[in-house]
Amino acid sequence: PALACLSDFTEMMRALGYPRLISMENFHTPNFMLVSEVLLWLVKRYEPQTDIPPDVETEQDRVFFIKAVAQFMATKAHIKLNTKKLYQADGYAVKELLKVTSVLYGAMNTKGVERADVSEEDSSKFKFDLGSKIADLKAARQLASEITSKGASLYDLLGKEVELREARTESIARPLEINEAEKVMKIAIDCVLEQVQKTKDMLNNVALDEANLEAKIEKRKLELERSQKRLQTLQSVRPAFMDEYEKIEEQLQKQYSSYLEKFRNLTYMEQLLDDHRRIEQEMFEEAANMLHLTQNRLKEEEQRLLKSGKNDDSDIEIQEDEGSDSEVEDGQIMKQRTATEMLLQG
Q: What does the pLDDT look like over 275-332, one tens digit per residue? A: 999 999 999 999 999 999 999 999 999 998 888 876 665 554 444 444 445 454 555 5
In this prediction, residue 115 carries a pLDDT of 44
CB within 8 A of 326, min separation 6: which ones?
A: 309, 312
CB of 13 within 8 A of CB of 64? no
Least Cα distance to 336 among 289, 295, 286 occurs for: 295
Q: What does the pLDDT look like over 121-140, one tens digit per residue? A: 444 444 445 555 777 888 88
R_g of the chain, CA atoms, integer Å: 52
**1 three-state secondary structure:** coil
Could you give the CA distance from residue 278 to residue 284 in angstroms, rounded to a whole number?
10
Q: Which residue stretches of the chain have pLDDT < 70?
A: 1-6, 24, 111-132, 310-346
The packing angle between helices 91-110 and 2-16, to 10°, is 40
CB of 13 within 8 A of CB of 101? yes
CB of 67 within 8 A of CB of 83? yes
330: alpha, beta or left, given left = phi > 0 and alpha = psi -120 to 50?
A: alpha
Q: What does the pLDDT look like over 223-243, one tens digit per residue? A: 999 999 999 888 887 777 888
CB within 8 A of 50, min separation 6: which ones?
A: 43, 44, 72
Could you give the CA distance from residue 152 to residue 307 in angstroms, rounded to a whole number?
125
Distance from the Cα of residue 120 to its chain's centroid: 40
Angle at the Cα of 8 from the Cα atoms of 130 and 96, rounded to 5 degrees: 60
Could you give the CA distance from residue 91 to residue 41 in angstroms, rounded to a whole number?
19
Residue type, 158: L
